[in-house]
Chain A
Amino acid sequence: MASLKSEETTKPLGIVLMVAAAFSTATGQMFWKLADSVLDYQMWIGFVLYGMGAVLMTVAFRFGKLSVLHPLLSLGYVIAIFYGAMFLGEAVTLNVSLGTLLILVGVVAIGGDRH
């Protein structure tokens, strides 16, 4: 569809779907981390969630620019830090907080660029 190829701006729906993709991907990776053996059920849940992340990302790309939407996936790093602190008892150090803040600022800067 020509109208889709010539889209001028990135739609909010594209950003929302990318945030969902980042959640799904990061949750999948956490399940991989929780898996003990090569193909136990956590590993499979991880695969399903990681795959769902790819599907959400593909749909998101229909609603905006690749250069805006793809970097938003790095929100997954922040989500991973949150999971680590919440469920795996990982420490949130000053560097972790500072790094998270920098990533968030970068994500907001790119997400706010509609072109």
Chain B
Amino acid sequence: MTAINLLLGLLMIVMTWLGALGGYFLKAASSHDLQTEKTKMVTKLVLGVGFYGLGAILNIVALQYLPYTTVFPLTAVTYIWTMILSYFILKEKISLRKIAGVLLILTGAVVLVS
């Protein structure tokens, strides 16, 4: 039983990271110019769609084993990873306001299903 819970926990972590990586690569693709950097753009687009799509599939799989009320708030964890990727790779500023916003969204998602 504990091994299964561990596996499901891992599934949720992988799922949320896939969503965040999907978003990151779609963002990276969107900052390339279609005319001059077509290959770079397409590569990142494929990675973005791939990660995003895999995340959606894992979401559907997770819903087979876990209640909606568990999966739903956990998907909001995606935005924590988004903040980490934005800060470390894209060098975006992560203001207190953004952190507060993500925490509010996360809390809201938990309250919504409780």
Contact = CB atoms under 8 A, between A and B. Distances in A.
Contact of B109 (A4, A67, A77, A115): A77
B26 A95 contact: no
Given A66-B23, A67-B98, A109-B104, A115 B114 contact: no
Given A102-B108, A103-B109, A77 B72 contact: yes
B105 A103 contact: yes
B23 A113 contact: no
Range for the number of chain B residues in contact with chain A: 35 or more
Contacts, number: 130
B101 A107 contact: yes
A72 B23 CA distance: 12
Interface residues of A, number: 37
Nearest to B80: A71
Contacts of B90: 65-67
A101 B87 CA distance: 27
A11 B19 CA distance: 23
Q: Does more than half of chain B's interface fall in helix, strand or loop, or is it mixed?
A: helix
Contact of B52 (A54, A99, A112): A54
Contacts of A115: 92-93, 95
Interface of B: 20, 23-24, 26-27, 29-33, 45, 48-49, 52, 56, 72, 76, 78-79, 82-83, 85-87, 90, 92-95, 97-98, 100-114
23 contacts: A1-B31, A1-B33, A4-B31, A57-B23, A62-B30, A66-B23, A67-B86, A67-B87, A67-B90, A69-B27, A70-B20, A70-B79, A71-B102, A74-B76, A74-B105, A81-B112, A95-B114, A102-B111, A103-B105, A106-B101, A106-B106, A112-B97, A113-B95
10 closest Cβ pairs, A-B complex:
A99-B112, A102-B108, A106-B104, A103-B108, A110-B101, A67-B86, A99-B111, A106-B105, A109-B101, A61-B30
Interface of A: 1, 4-5, 50, 54, 57-59, 61-62, 65-71, 74, 77, 81, 95-96, 98-107, 109-110, 112-113, 115
